[in-house]
């Protein structure tokens, strides 16, 4: 079963709006990562947040982590059409375990 589940599965917004995606997971983690995938292409690493961190920023990206709720959110501010892609969370449970990916959120940013 998937460690990470993203919500919503699909999101459509207008350019300039903010986009928020959520990820819930089941077991304790070492870190949580967000990746982006343009249609049919490889995933690209966006940001990593450690289990002892609560919030992290990178450009227009803001990631929060709530380990008590086993959830994370990715906020993209002032979205652009070029942000249209699928976004995946991935959890690292440490101890030699590998990254486990969620099912992704498809974001469409319309002009």
Partner 1 sequence: DADVTQTPRNRITKTGKRIMLECSQTKGHDRMYWYRQDPGLGLRLIYYSFDVKDINKGEISDGYSVSRQAQAKFSLSLESAIPNQTALYFCATSERQGANEKLFFGSGTQLSVL
Which positions from 41 to 60 touch partner 1 by CB under 8 A, shown as an x/- string? xxxxx--x-x----------
**Rounded CA gap, 105 and 22, in Å?**
9
Q: Where are the alpha helices (DSSP H) in 1-111?
A: none
Nearer to partner 1, 9 or 12 (CB): 9
Q: Which is nearer to partner 1, 34 or 109 (CB)?
A: 34
Beta-carbon contacts of 52 under 8 Å, excluding residues fewer than 6 positions away, are: none
Structure tokens at 104: 């992704």
Which of these ranges, 16-24, 37-45, 62-70, 73-81, lies near partner 1 under the rule CB under 8 A?
Answer: 37-45
By CB under 8 A, name the one of 12, 18, 27, 30 that touches partner 1: 30
Tokens 């490889």 found at: 42
- State both tokens at 102: 């969620």
Residue ranges that bind partner 1, judged by CB under 8 A: 2, 4, 30-31, 33, 35, 40-45, 48, 50, 88, 90, 92, 94, 98-104
């Amino acid at each position: 079963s998937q460690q990470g589940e993203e919500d919503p599965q699909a999101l459509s917004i207008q350019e300039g709006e903010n986009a928020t995606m959520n990820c819930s997971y089941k077991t304790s983690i070492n870190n949580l990562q967000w990746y982006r995938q343009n249609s049919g292409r490889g995933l690209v690493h966006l940001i990593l947040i450690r289990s002892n961190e609560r919030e992290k920023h990178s450009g227009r990206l803001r990631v929060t982590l709530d380990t008590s709720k086993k959830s994370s959110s990715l906020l993209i501010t002032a979205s652009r059409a070029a942000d249209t892609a699928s976004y995946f969370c991935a959890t690292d449970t440490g101890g030699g375990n590998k990254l486990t990916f969620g099912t992704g959120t498809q974001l469409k940013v319309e002009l």
